[in-house]
Structure 1
Amino acid sequence: MQERASRVMAPERRRRLVRTAAREFATAGYEGASLNRIIRDCGLSKSSFYHYVDSKQALFDLVVQDLGDQLTAALQVPAPGELAGPAFWEDVEDLLRRLLEVSRSNPAWTDLGRLFWAPGTPGGDGTALARAGAALQAWLLGALEAGRACGAVRDDLPAPLQADLTAAVLRALDEWGLRHPHALDGDEAHRLVVVQSALLRRVLAPDAPVPQAR
């Protein structure tokens, strides 16, 4: 299990296992991922591997939890309340830019992004993906509340709906970027950040038009 791995496994061996498994899951998908390949590439024996991690599901959760924690720490995600103020949208764009730069600095974090959107990944109650999704939803709701409080986000739509719309926009752009990594080299990648921010602003800002019912 994940907690067992964190207590027993040496830090460097754990990092190697997590990075190797992330690459395998991202390349082959959850169902196609081979524990035998992961074990071989990590230089572990099967008995040692199963002493640390007891199943493919436990290994997948370990990968998502570890890489997610590392990415969050490297990104220095602000508390939602810190976004409240006249620079709300500038801060949002800065966060998106830092997310791009940080995620591109480590291939394992790019692999993590693929795990979130890949079909067949285990995301039921109690899984690492479910916990990460709940944490993201809570952060988005808090950020929207901060934006409403400072007048940067419209308040004529339910906040949960706005959070779902925000997640849908980010997911669509993220999935496209992961499928077309070479199309986002250099200035094109930073242009995408500007587009992301502009799309979110059009959906969420008070001056964004809402079609009137006839």
Structure 2
Amino acid sequence: MPLPRFASLAPERRAAILGAAAEEFARAGLEGASYNRIIARAGASKGAMYYYFDNKEDLLLTVVADLAERSAAAIGEPGEFTDAAGFWRELRALCARTVAFFLTDPVVAGLAKRVLAASTESALGRAVAEHTRRLERYTADLLRAGQRVGAVRTDLPVEFLAHLLSGVGEAVDRWLLGRAEQLVPTELAALPDQCVDLFARLAAPDPFTRSSTT
């Protein structure tokens, strides 16, 4: 992660450095990224960059952590719900905001694609694995809330369901990010409903009943 000196920079300077790095990493990945190109785009000096980060990998991890923070802020939390229909409606809205965040900016989409392709043995892969574990815990809490209003089945351990849904979500992410440029607007618009349908088939009390998702 960044050295303490990076936190002392003005917010606009931090944003400029991380933005330039995100563009380069999205384009070329860790191995192919040019530190010199990042430095030039950020309007910084090589000495300054080593003053803020130990190495290129450290900078990439900082960029990914920033992406995670920005995505959480943009996607937000589900709204209030008091019944099964409300639960699935809020989940659909959550899916729609997720799709919009990752596809609005090609740099974000490119960076997310690189993150998903990270080796499990790399520092980035380990960071991604920890993020996945946090996401599964968050999903489990959301499913428990769904169980309280009858939206989620109770015949399976909630942690197992969370693991299943996280796996489906990752598969959707990989499929979407690999084809985002080819999808037409109507296909993109249909994705939130399709994702919720997939989740409901796994998690709803009756996996063959869709009435509670609309």
For residue 59 of structure 1, report the CA deviation from its aligned partner: 0.9
Gaps of at least 5 residues in structure 1 are: 210-214
Distance (whole Å) between structure 1 residues aligned to residue 108 and residue 92 of structure 2: 20
Q: 2:83 aligns with which of 74, 82, 85?
A: 85
Gaps of at least 5 residues in structure 2 are: 209-214
TM-score, normalised via structure 1 length: 0.84
Question: 4+ runs of 1 displaced by more than 4 Å?
Answer: none
Change (3 A) 1:187 1:124: closer
Distance (whole Å) between structure 2 residues aligned to residue 68 and residue 34 of structure 1: 23
For residue 93 of structure 1, report the CA deviation from its aligned partner: 0.7
Which residue number corresponds to residue 4 of structure 1?
4
For residue 34 of structure 1, report the CA deviation from its aligned partner: 2.6
- Indicate yes or no: 2:143 matched with 1:137: no
Which residue number corresponds to residue 31 of structure 1?
31
For residue 205 of structure 1, report the CA deviation from its aligned partner: 0.8
Compute the RMSD of aligned alpha carbons.
2.2
Q: Which letter maps to 2:98?
A: L
Distance (whole Å) between structure 2 residues aligned to residue 105 and residue 152 of structure 1: 31
What does residue range 169-188 of structure 1 map to in structure 2 within 5 Å?
Answer: 169-188=168-187
Q: Is residue 26–residue 111 contact of structure 2 (8 Å, CA) maintained in 1?
A: yes
Where 1:184 maps in the other structure, the secondary structure is: coil
Q: Give me the identity figure in percent.
A: 35
For residue 75 of structure 1, report the CA deviation from its aligned partner: 1.9
Which 10-residue stretch deviates more, 156-165 or 107-116? Answer: 107-116
Q: Is residue 152–residue 205 contact of structure 2 (8 Å, CA) maintained in 1?
A: yes
What does residue range 60-139 of structure 1 map to in structure 2 within 5 Å?
Answer: 60-78=60-78, 82=80, 85-86=83-84, 87-120=86-119, 122-123=123-124, 127=127, 129-139=128-138
The count of corresponding residues between Structure 1 and Structure 2 is 205
Distance (whole Å) between structure 2 residues aligned to residue 51 and residue 109 of structure 1: 26
Distance (whole Å) between structure 2 residues aligned to residue 140 and residue 57 of structure 1: 29
For residue 50 of structure 1, report the CA deviation from its aligned partner: 0.7
Q: Which letter maps to 2:123?
A: P
Distance (whole Å) between structure 1 residues aligned to residue 77 and residue 102 of structure 2: 13
Distance (whole Å) between structure 2 residues aligned to residue 12 and residue 108 of structure 1: 18
Q: Is residue 75–residue 102 contact of structure 1 (8 Å, CA) maintained in 2?
A: yes
Distance (whole Å) between structure 1 residues aligned to residue 90 and residue 190 of structure 2: 16
